[in-house]
Amino acid sequence: MVHPTVKGKKIFPLGFGFMRLPVTGEGKVDYAQSRAMMERAVEAGVNYFDTAMLYHGGESEVFLGKETTPAIREKVVTATKLPSWLVKTPEDMDKFLDEQLKKLKTDCIDIYLLHALNLTRWGTMQKVNALEFLERAKSAGKIRLTGFSYHDGLPLFKEIIDSYKWDVALIQLNILDHIYQAGVEGAKYAHGRGVFVAVMEPLKGGILGTPIEGPFLKIAEKYGWSKPTFADLCLKWLWNQPEIGTVLSGVSTMRQLSENIESAEEFIDGKGAITEKELRLIEDIRAEFNSRIRVGCTGCAYCRPCPSDVDILECFRLYNSASITGDWKKFKSLYEDLIFSPVKQEKRASFCTECGICEPRCPQNIPIREKLKEVVKELEEGVF
């Protein structure tokens, strides 16, 4: 792995993503739990914090600004992002950056990324002269390093990499998405041009970190895999690629964080070299998951809010879980709980009006309306 120096610090192999912080019953960031997790991460050496203006409805940056003590701030680098899809004029970029500086309670953001670039958004960034804006912000001392996060094909990724002297590229990569979007080839391309590569969705929204059950038990037994999930193996696969600088984990519980830290520490201690047997295991896992995943949803929640209040994420989670585990009875029952809850009844898939507002927001380009129809057919059929 490469280890760039930011503020004199080498980046730890594991980064902390602040998109999936624990929340209260009201859906707000749980400050007590999130603070404890942040402190645990820093204590272990985790020093790359990744957030964005719209995470947790804007509360993620506010949390970091309030809870990052001077002692923690000194130890970490913070990355946040310009919401590219909200930019209409050059002035918008300065406005958003100044708002983010206030939320984060800092005069200078360590790493500033253009958020979720695709063909359309890259076109917008070019029209508003975003690269000139980044240069002005650096000269003014408002940001230290520049970068972009990405959700589109490999050719466009290479074009963007070659367009500017970027410091950081944040890409989606995991054992299932090795040839999806920028993929492994994109990581190599960026690294070869001196760009630090950070990885998001290493467990594909948690799918790869679910307990081993159903058809995956036989695969685990075949290879003598004794751990309760494949998460450690998936992280190890990423860390064994020299082009990757850090892997961002969007954890929601202290247990998830501690398990990921333990995996990182094993890698650092030299116990993380991937074996030929593990590579064969990954091939079998990949084939099984690819045959069973019904929706490529990572749970990022960019599709929210839905005008009809359909809980798109939960519908897709239950649909995938039923297919992955093979336990359709169990997850159909859980879906019925969603339907008949007096609080959540309107959240079922059949309440979709096909307005289509959600689809342009989805970084995975999921045909959400069609997939919700599948959920209705597979999980609602026969309920009424």
Residue 211 sits in a domain of what CATH number?
3.20.20.100
Judge if pTM exceeds 0.75: yes
Rounded to an integer, what distance in angstroms lies between the CA atom of residue 125 and that of residue 86? 11
User: Does 298 fall in a domain?
Assistant: no
Same domain, 227 and 369: no
One-letter identity of residue 173: L
Query: Does any domain span residue 296?
Result: no
**Does residue 319 share a domain with residue 197?**
no
Residues 252 and 357 placed together within one structural domain of the fold? no
Backbone angles phi, psi at 366, to 5 degrees: -75, 135
- Contact criterion met (CB below 8 Å) for 80 and 100: yes
* 316 and 282 in a common domain: no
pLDDT in tens, 264-316: 999 988 777 899 999 999 999 999 999 999 999 988 888 988 999 899 999 99
Q: Is the same domain home to 170 and 251? A: yes
On whether both 372 and 226 belong to a single domain, the answer is: no
Same domain, 257 and 332: no
Domain total of the chain: 2
Is 301 a domain residue? no
Task: For residues 72 and 43, state if they share a domain.
Answer: yes
- Domain membership of residue 34 (yes or no) is yes
Residue 363 structural domain: 312-380
Q: Judge whether 299 lies within some domain.
A: no
My answer on whether 280 and 351 are in the same domain is no
pLDDT (tens digit, 9 = 90+) per residue, 15-65?
A: 999 999 999 988 899 999 999 999 999 999 999 999 999 999 999 999 999
For residue 22, whether the previous peptide bond is cis, meaning omega lies within 30 degrees of 0, is no
- pLDDT tens digits, one per residue of 194-224: 999 999 999 998 899 989 998 999 999 999 9
Same domain, 78 and 198: yes
Kindly state the average pLDDT of the residues 141-148: 97
pLDDT digit string, tens, across residues 67-86: 999 999 999 999 999 999 99
Of 261, 291, 321, which marks where a domain is finished? 291
Residues 205 and 280 occupy one common structural domain: yes
Residue at 231 is within a domain: yes
95 is a domain residue: yes
Q: Determine, yes or no, domain membership for 297.
A: no
Q: Are 58 and 106 members of one domain? A: yes
